[in-house]
């Protein structure tokens, strides 16, 4: 039986819209049916300085892959699309594509290779805004609040973020 998964995608190099579209197409082939994609939003880099803004989106898929199978597929697609290094230890850098597993059904996974839900998703407006567009009432399985609620709380705690 297929599980609904939500992925966050970002890019800040090259033809950004094309990078996201190519990633979504590749993910559809590898994972299964894409059921929804948010609008693409332009955002500032998070966690590092760069002259290149990001284009981000969220996408939902129905997949029969296991969580680790999903991770293997997303990492393979990143490499195929030209990503040469992963962020590690809180060190971020420019990248042609980044694919993060945000949610895998209602599953909570904590392993050396994979943490689901994504451990920083509730702290990032560039993740929550597009995710709230396609899954506003979906609950964060560890926190128990909807994506919309998490986004509203984040906006309330970050006065410099535009509400709207």
d(CA 88, CA 130): 24
Asked whether the bond before 117 is cis by omega within 30 degrees of 0, the reply is yes
Query: Which of 112, 96, 32 has the alpha carbon at shortest distance from 70?
Result: 32
Q: Helices H, strands E: what count in the chain? A: 4, 7
d(CA 77, CA 80): 5
Q: Where are the alpha helices (DSSP H) in 32-146?
A: 67-80, 125-134
Phi and psi at residue 157, to the nearest 5°: -90, -5
Q: How many C-beta neighbours within 10 Å does residue 57 have?
A: 25
Count CA atoms closer than 13 A to 62's CA, side-chain side.
4
Domain ranges of the chain: 3-114
Q: Can you tell me which residue has the tokens 């709207």? A: 164
22 assigned to active site = no
Catalytic residue among 83, 113, 124, 155: 83
Classify domain 3-114 by CATH architecture. Answer: 2-Layer Sandwich (3.30)
Would you write out the chain's pLDDT as a tens digit for each of its 164 residues?
899 999 999 999 999 999 999 999 999 999 999 999 999 999 887 766 778 889 999 999 999 999 999 999 999 999 999 877 665 555 556 778 999 999 999 999 999 999 999 999 999 999 999 999 999 999 999 999 999 999 999 999 875 544 43
95 assigned to active site = yes
148 assigned to active site = no
pLDDT digits (tens, 9 = 90+) for 122-157: 999 999 999 999 999 999 999 999 999 999 999 998
Catalytic residue among 95, 113, 148, 155: 95
Catalytic residue among 4, 100, 148, 155: 100
């Amino acid at each position: 039986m297929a599980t609904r998964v939500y992925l966050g995608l970002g890019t800040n190099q090259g033809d950004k819209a094309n990078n996201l579209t190519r990633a979504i197409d590749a993910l559809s082939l590898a994972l299964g049916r894409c059921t929804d994609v948010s609008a693409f939003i332009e955002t500032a880099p998070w966690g590092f300085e760069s002259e290149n803004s990001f284009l981000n989106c969220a996408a939902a898929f129905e997949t029969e892959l296991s969580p680790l199978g999903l991770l293997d597929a997303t990492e393979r697609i990143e490499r195929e699309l030209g990503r040469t290094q992963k962020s590690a230890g809180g060190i971020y850098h420019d990248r042609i594509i980044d694919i993060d597993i945000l949610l895998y059904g209602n599953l909570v996974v904590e392993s050396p290779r994979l943490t689901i839900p994504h451990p920083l998703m509730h702290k990032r407006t560039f993740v929550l805004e597009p995710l709230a567009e396609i899954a506003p009432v979906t609950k964060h399985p560890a926190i128990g609040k909807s994506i919309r609620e998490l986004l509203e709380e984040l906006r309330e705690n970050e006065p410099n973020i535009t509400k709207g």
